[in-house]
Amino acid sequence: MTKRRPHIAVFDLITSIGGVQFVLYGLLPRLKNGYDISVIDPYRNADYARRCTELGLNVVRLGTRPRTPYVGHKTHPTLRCLKLLGRSQWFLSVGLLLRRWLRKNNVDIVYFNQRSSTELFSRFVPKGVSQIYHCHGLTGPADVSSRLRKVLNTRIHATIAVSEKTKELLIEAGVPSDRIHVIYNGIDVERYCESASVVDGKLPARDPGEIVFVHPASIIHFKGQDVALEAFARIAPAVRSQLWFCGDVGSGGSKEYLQRIRDRVKELGLQNRVHFLGWRHDVAHVIASSDVCILPSQYESFGMVLAEAMALAKPCIGTNRGGVPEVIEDGVTGYIREPTASAFAEAMQALCDKPELRIRMGANGNTKCIDSFTTDRQAADLVRTLATHCRRSEPSPSEQSGEHHR
């Protein structure tokens, strides 16, 4: 008699497509050899559903979409509370539908990727079904509310942290270390490098020998576009260089912040050297066309775009915050600096002055990415975690990954 394959249900509230979803796009298809996978998105995000379907994942439509899916964290606390309270009936309805669906479809593991979905819906998961929370981002222990901490310690069987720093913050917040598994994000290096040949639009013209710094991120204050601009302005005038901002204002972002950056570019007289590329579907091509990737964020739990740049053999400059020092090896694959204009300017100038250093750091970064940040490795690590917590028979890591090896 053939054993029933374990069934995983991925449940999240998707308002927009971002880094977390791209991580899942690479990860989930690698689990299909050993698991049945269903992706549940009660917000019915069309782009998310389309991409999951294209990847051969079973997309489940559950309930009706709320009128206003996004309630910004920057909304006044009282107004935010009222908005959430107004949707309490919707939460209850979806929660009950979720419980019924999980029972009917013999789900073994519910896999959450968001704090909000974990807090709100873990209580609806039937007993006997394992629950996994993949913690993709924390800025500090305060991000783990007392409510989330209780959920992680009583309902969630395992929490996945994307970096050792994220694990450290979870422990500080009161989550036992033996319930936390560190699994770095992964990249399909070969496919990602191939995708760099896909062009979605024109790039700014550049002269031979001109050095291009790229800052690929949503334009939001904590990503540090203002720091990047001020640092760029401090590079020696004799250096021919450009700065590309690849991204735009997303959910929770500030158009006022973007306008301040644009105004500052004019004040500095850098209109011909600083370019706003907006949203691009060919980010790999943009990074591949640059010389150095910079990310002066105030905080990054991992820093996926830095690993992607390393896959493309680009040296990186990141901050000494969060999990970034676990991605960039200071002085080897790039530089780790304080998120200040002076600190980033010093590192940027060093890479301008030494082209051989850019090449060497880029090559080192590519090697580290292949050794530490591949999707195959991430999938193998996740399979081991799932096997530990799945209540029914599950494939071994070797069976699951097939021809892939860590």
Q: Is-contact 18 216, C-beta < 8 A?
A: no
Q: How far apart are CA 227 and CA 268, in angstroms?
A: 14
Q: Which residues is 295 bridged to in the sheet?
A: 318
Assess if CATH 3.40.50.2000 describes domain 7-186+374-401.
yes
H/E/C letters for each residue in the chain? Answer: CCCCCCEEEEECCCCCCCHHHHHHHHHHHHHCCCCEEEEECCCCCHHHHHHHHHCCCEEECCCCCCCCCCCCCCCCHHHHHHHHHHCHHHHHHHHHHHHHHHHHCCCCEEEECCHHHHHHHHHHCCCCCEEEEEECCCCCHHHCCHHHHHHHHHCCCEEEECCHHHHHHHHHCCCCHHHEEECCCCECHHHHHHHCCCCCCCCCCCCCCCEEEEEECCCCHHHCHHHHHHHHHCCCCCCCEEEEEECCCCCCCCHHHHHHHHHHHHHHCCCCCEEECCCCCCHHHHHHCCCEEEECCCCCCCCHHHHHHHHCCCCEEEECCCCHHHHCCECCCEEEECCCHHHHHHHHHHHHHCHHHHHHHHHHHHHHHHHHCEHHHHHHHHHHHHHHHCCCCCCCHHHHHCCCCC
CA atoms within 13 A on the CB side of 324: 26
How far apart are alpha carbons 200 and 242 in whole angstroms? 20
Task: Confirm whether 7-186+374-401 and 190-372 share one CATH topology.
Answer: yes
Give the C-alpha separation, 346 to 337, whole Å.
Answer: 9
190-372 fold: Rossmann fold (3.40.50)
Kindly list the domain boundaries of the chain, sorted by start residue: 7-186+374-401, 190-372
The token duo for 40 is 């549940």
Q: What is the pLDDT of residue 160?
A: 96
**Tens digit of pLDDT at every position of the chain (406 positions):** 557 889 999 999 988 888 889 899 999 999 998 999 999 989 989 999 999 999 999 999 988 887 665 555 454 555 555 555 567 888 899 999 999 999 999 999 999 999 989 999 999 999 999 999 999 988 888 889 899 999 999 999 999 999 999 999 999 999 999 999 999 999 999 999 999 999 989 999 999 999 999 999 999 999 999 999 999 999 999 999 999 999 999 766 689 999 999 999 999 999 999 999 999 999 999 999 999 999 999 999 999 999 999 999 999 999 999 999 999 999 999 999 999 999 999 999 999 999 999 999 999 999 999 999 999 999 999 999 998 876 543 444 443 444 433 3
Cβ proximity of 72 and 251 under 8 Å: yes
pTM for the full model? 0.87
